Structure 1
Amino acid sequence: MASLNVYSAPGVLFLTRAVAMATKENDQIIKDNNCETKMGLPCVLEAFTSIFEIGTISSKCCGELVVLGKVCHSTLVKRTLENPLFKYLSPARIIANNIQTWNNCLALIDSPSPSA
């Protein structure tokens, strides 16, 4: 049993270090792209709800999300998934919701508005 602990300790250390490196990398991307300053709080909350819970995102907030950019959008979602507060969430479901929200917003923004 002692040998199991000797071998598992480096594995845990490696995984902990990999998560810390991913978090630092995501934080750097967010900082370099000023991601946290590109959307207003009401739209951040709408986007969060549409990705991490059950909700919709308005066309106004879709516009802000598209201006935010895919790199910022994806990195902010990844960073949120790394937060222990959200460990109960299914990463596969969140990634699917993330892609669906992004694609829906792109389609909404790219489609011409109906004429009156």
Structure 2
Amino acid sequence: MVSLHVYSVLVVLFLTCGAIMATKENDQIIRENNCETKMGLPCVLEAFTCIFVTGSISSKCCGEVVVLGKVFHSALVKRTLENPLFIDLSPTTIIAKSIQTWNNCLALIDSPSPSA
């Protein structure tokens, strides 16, 4: 099992190194909208793990994903896939997991909470 330290390193790479390899479109979307500062690091780690490894994402972090927006969410995922460190991952699988995470978060945020 991969340690939290390795996940942290992957998240840092997700947020920084990917910019070097990003397509102009994804990089421009991310930079112009300051996407990387719209989520806290714990939620970035949760979302990254959910999409690129396996796991779930909390409702709090789903809220941050939804606030980020679908275009920005997709741009960050695509930019990460362009990084040579992730060359062994299946883009089709990752994009499907990204869409599933987005849809799950949207449904969770849109669903009414039970009365107290």
Q: Secondary structure at the match of 2:23?
A: helix
Q: How many residues align?
A: 97
What is aligned with 1:50? Answer: 50
The structural deviation recorded for 1:78 is 0.3
Give the root-mean-square deviation of aligned CA atoms. Answer: 1.5
- CA distance 1:71–1:113, change in 2 (3 Å): same
What is aligned with 1:96? Answer: 96
What is aligned with 2:73? Answer: 73
Counterpart residue identity of residue 86, structure 1: F
Counterpart residue identity of residue 35, structure 1: C
CA distance in 2, matches of 1:21, 1:61: 26
Contact 2:21 2:82 in 1 (8 A): no
Higher relative contact order (CA 8 A, sep 6+): 2
Higher helix residue share: 1
Contact 2:81 2:87 in 1 (8 A): yes
Seq. identity, %: 84
Moved over 2 A (4+): none
Counterpart residue identity of residue 101, structure 1: T
What is aligned with 2:63? Answer: 63
Counterpart residue identity of residue 50, structure 2: S
The structural deviation recorded for 1:21 is 9.1
100-109 vs 26-35, which moves further = 26-35
Return the TM-score normalized by structure 1: 0.80
When Rg is computed on C-alpha atoms for both structures, the one with the higher figure is 1
The structural deviation recorded for 1:26 is 1.2
The structural deviation recorded for 1:81 is 0.3
Contact 2:22 2:83 in 1 (8 A): no
Which consecutive unaligned segments of at least 5 residues does structure 2 have? 1-19
Contact 2:21 2:83 in 1 (8 A): no
Contact 2:30 2:36 in 1 (8 A): yes
CA distance in 1, matches of 2:42, 2:21: 30
